[in-house]
Amino acid sequence: MLISDFDGVIVDGMEEYWWSARRAAAQLLPAGAQLPEAVPEAFRQLRPQVHHGWEMPLLAAVIAGYGQPLAAFHADYASALAASLQQLAWPQAQLTEALDAVRQQAIASDRQAWLALHRPYPWMLQALQRLESEGLPWAVLTTKSAGFTAELLSSHQLHPQAIYGREDGPKPEVLQRLLAQDARGGPWRFLEDRRLTLEAVRAVPALDAVHCLLVTWGYLRPGDAQDLPAGIQLLEPERLEQPLAQWPEAAIVQAN
C-alpha cells in the first residue's frame, strides 16, 4: 500500500492557498485591509511551517499588518501563531469555516478556474497513474478536507482507494487505525513533505512497519533533508519511475 500526502506531494497548491487564504482573511479583517493579488514572498517562506489549513488566512492577515510581526514567525512560528490567534480573537473553527466557504463558492461559481490553481507534479501524476493501471492500491492522507481533495484528484483522473482528510484526525492516529485493520501488517510506504509529521509517525512504535519517505519536491524547510533520523529516507522524483517495490524502504527493524 502506498499512502501519500496531497498538497506538496501530489500537487503544488501554493497559488490556490494564497488565493483562498487572501479572500478568507479579507472577510474577517477590517474593510480596507491591503492584501496583494500575487503570492507574496513572505507567504512562500512561511508555507513550509504550516500544518493546518486554518493557519493560511491567519498568515494572510499577518502579511496585511495584523497580529504578530513577520519576524516573530520566522523566529518561533508556533508561538507567533498562537499569539496572533489570541490577539485577533479568531477561533480556529471560524478560520476553517471561512476558508471552506471561499473554496465552496469558487467551485460553485467557476470550478475550472479554481481547479487550475492547483498544479500536479508531473512525476507524481505519472507514478500514480501507473499504479492505477497496474491495479496497485494507493490512498491519500491529508490535512485538507476529503471532499476538496477528491474534487481535485478527480479533475486529474486519479482515483485512490481511499481519501483520509482532516475530518479523520491526526495522521499518526489514522495510520495506526489503518495498519491495525491490515491483516498483512504492512509494509506500507508513506510519502510526506513535512518532516515533523514523519517524525511524529516514527515516534509511534505500532507504526514501525510504515516506510516514511520525505519527498524532495515539496514545501521543505531549510535543513529538513539533512541528518534524517532512523526510519526516514528521502525520495527523489526520478525514483518514482521505478516499480513501487524498488522505491526506498525506511521502516525501523526491531531487534530480536
Residues 175-201, mean pLDDT to the nearest whole number: 88
pLDDT at 121: 96
| pTM for the structure as a whole | 0.84
* 8 A C-beta contact, residue 106 and residue 20: yes
pLDDT at 256: 40
- Is it the case that residue 212 has pLDDT exceeding 80? yes
Architecture of domain 2-12+119-246 in CATH? 3-Layer(aba) Sandwich (3.40)
* 8 A C-beta contact, residue 21 and residue 56: yes
pLDDT at 145: 86
- Is it the case that residue 184 has pLDDT exceeding 80? no
Burial class (CB in 10 A: 0-12, 13-18, 19+), 205: exposed
pLDDT at 183: 66
Residues 117-144, mean pLDDT to the nearest whole number: 93
pLDDT at 91: 95
pLDDT at 143: 87
- Return d(Cα 165, Cα 34) in angstroms, integer: 32
pLDDT at 32: 85
pLDDT at 120: 94
Q: What is the mean pLDDT of the chain?
A: 92
**Joined grid coordinates for residue 219:** 514545501
* 8 A C-beta contact, residue 207 and residue 176: yes
Q: Which tens digits make up the pLDDT trace of 19-66?
A: 999 999 999 999 889 999 999 999 999 998 888 889 999 999 999 999
pLDDT at 252: 74
| Percent of the chain residues past pLDDT 70, beyond the cut | 97
Higher pLDDT, 56 or 182: 56
Residue ranges per domain, the chain? 2-12+119-246, 14-115
Question: Using 50, 70 and 90 to split pLDDT, how confident is the model at 3?
Answer: very high
**Joined grid coordinates for residue 152:** 481535485
pLDDT at 255: 45
Q: Which phi and psi (to 5°) does residue 58 adopt?
A: -65, -40
